[in-house]
């Protein structure tokens, strides 16, 4: 007869375990998103996924666990909602059809590459063999107003996050997916821009997850590499709650120099107690 498994070792006020949600992992969106929801959003919560896309995020979430309101500005043909969810087409995440403070959680995952925001649909990134990528990740139309390039990416996030701050109830969670990018040969740290931007709306950045893709990113026509090729993305979790911490710092302001330490006379130092104690 085999002995029954030992119960988990108890520590003061908890249980010793390695089964914890960690901040970085290699894997896919669906696995990590399900973990993030389980950690940060209680069952029964009303959740709006306002950039539903193909609904990949929801593939590992137990159906019926949340009241899901799924929408997208341009739903993909044939996309269906998970069991019990509502699915609405033609909803712009910058102007949501929800009352103030109506939601417990909002999920935002707009196109994160500047190549998806061009004045002409013919100039959008993702042509030829990458057309499926564009179909899945963008709405396929031109961006005919507002800023250009990387600033167009941030402009959409900014307006959608303002809307999220309006429709979330106090204590509600905003889950934002993003990826940094090199645009016009400059490194643009989208996740930093989002953290500082959303904090300025009065939300608290409660958690940050790094997702590393399991396969190597392919590069066509590489000449000389200048920046590391991105193979990671982020999920940021904000809480609609004011806290006394901010992620913005200003190191350029000179701080007054510290007053000089009092100097002991030399004769006292030579004979004083403890001198050289640590030199043995």
Ligand X SMILES: C[S@@+](CC[C@H](N)C(=O)[O-])C[C@H]1O[C@@H](n2cnc3c(N)ncnc32)[C@H](O)[C@@H]1O
Restricting to residues 121-160, name those near ligand X by CB under 6 A. 137-139, 156
Binding test (CB under 6 A) with ligand X, winner from 37, 40, 45, 57: 57
19 vs 144, beta carbon nearer ligand X? 144
Binding test (CB under 6 A) with ligand X, winner from 94, 148, 213, 232: 94
Q: Are 51 and 72 in contact (CB under 8 A)?
A: yes
82 vs 172, beta carbon nearer ligand X? 82
Which range, of 10-18, 105-113, 185-193, 204-212, touches ligand X by CB under 6 A? 105-113
Q: How many chain residues bind ligand X (CB under 6 A)?
A: 20
111 vs 126, beta carbon nearer ligand X? 111
Determine the Cα–Cα distance for residues 176 and 191; give it in Å rounded to an integer: 9
The answer to the question of residue 53 lying near ligand X (CB under 6 A) is: yes
What secondary structure does DSSP assign to 87-119, as a single string? EEES--TTS-S--TT-EEEEEE----SGGG--S
Q: Beta partners for 70?
A: 49, 87
139 vs 240, beta carbon nearer ligand X? 139
What the block records as the tokens of 53 is: 């896309």
Report phi then psi at 207, rounded to 5.
-155, 155
The helix/strand/coil state of 258 is: coil
Residues 108-127, mask of contacts with ligand X (x by CB under 6 A): -xxx----------------
Query: Nearest approach, Cβ of 79 to ligand X (angstroms)?
Result: 8
Burial class of residue 148 (count of CB atoms within 10 Å of its CB; 0-12, 13-18, 19+): middle
Q: Radius of gyration of the chain from Cα atoms?
A: 25
CA atoms within a 13 Å half-sphere pointing along the CA-CB vector of 22: 9
Query: Nearest approach, Cβ of 126 to ligand X (angstroms)?
Result: 12
Question: Which residue, judged by CB position, is nearest to ligand X in the bound state?
Answer: 53
The answer to the question of residue 163 lying near ligand X (CB under 6 A) is: no
The answer to the question of residue 174 lying near ligand X (CB under 6 A) is: no
183 vs 233, beta carbon nearer ligand X? 233
204 vs 236, beta carbon nearer ligand X? 236
Q: Taking phi first (over 0 means left), then psi (-120 to 50 degrees means alpha), and beta for anything else, what does residue 276 get?
A: left
Which range, of 54-62, 184-192, 218-226, 244-252, touches ligand X by CB under 6 A? 54-62
The helix/strand/coil state of 146 is: coil
Q: Are 121 and 187 in contact (CB under 8 A)?
A: no
Query: Nearest approach, Cβ of 55 to ligand X (angstroms)?
Result: 5
Between the two ends of the chain, the Cα-to-Cα distance in Å is: 59
Residues 59-78, mask of contacts with ligand X (x by CB under 6 A): -------------xxx----
Binding test (CB under 6 A) with ligand X, winner from 45, 93, 113, 165: 93
Determine the Cα–Cα distance for residues 64 and 83; give it in Å rounded to an integer: 6
Binding site for ligand X (CB under 6 A): 50-51, 53-57, 72-74, 92-94, 109-111, 137-139, 156
């Amino acid at each position: 007869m085999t002995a029954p498994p030992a119960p988990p070792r108890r520590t003061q006020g908890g249980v010793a375990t390695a089964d914890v949600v960690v901040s970085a992992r290699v894997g896919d969106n669906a696995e990590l998103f399900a973990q993030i929801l389980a950690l940060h959003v209680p069952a029964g919560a009303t959740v709006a996924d306002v950039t539903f896309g193909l609904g990949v995020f929801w593939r590992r979430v137990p159906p019926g666990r949340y009241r899901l309101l799924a929408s997208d500005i341009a739903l993909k043909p044939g996309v269906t909602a998970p069991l019990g969810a509502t699915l609405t087409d033609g909803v712009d995440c910058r102007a949501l059809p929800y009352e103030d403070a109506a939601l417990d959680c909002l999920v935002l995952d707009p196109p994160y590459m500047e190549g998806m925001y061009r004045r002409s649909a013919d100039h959008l990134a993702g042509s030829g063999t990458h057309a499926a990528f564009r179909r899945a990740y963008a709405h396929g139309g031109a961006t005919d107003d507002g800023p250009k390039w990387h600033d167009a990416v941030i402009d959409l996030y900014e307006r959608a996050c303002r809307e999220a701050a309006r429709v979330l109830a106090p204590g509600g969670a905003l889950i934002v997916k993003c990826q940094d990018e090199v645009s016009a040969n400059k490194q643009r740290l989208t996740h930093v821009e989002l953290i500082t931007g959303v904090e300025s709306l009065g939300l608290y950045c409660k958690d940050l997850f790094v997702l590393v893709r399991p396969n190597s990113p392919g590069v066509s026509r590489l000449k000389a590499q200048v920046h590391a090729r991105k193979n990671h993305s982020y999920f940021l979790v904000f809480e609609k709650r004011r806290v006394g911490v901010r992620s913005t710092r200003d190191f350029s302001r000179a701080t007054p120099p510290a007053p000089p330490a009092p100097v002991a006379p030399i004769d006292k130092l030579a004979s004083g107690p403890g001198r050289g104690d640590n030199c043995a």
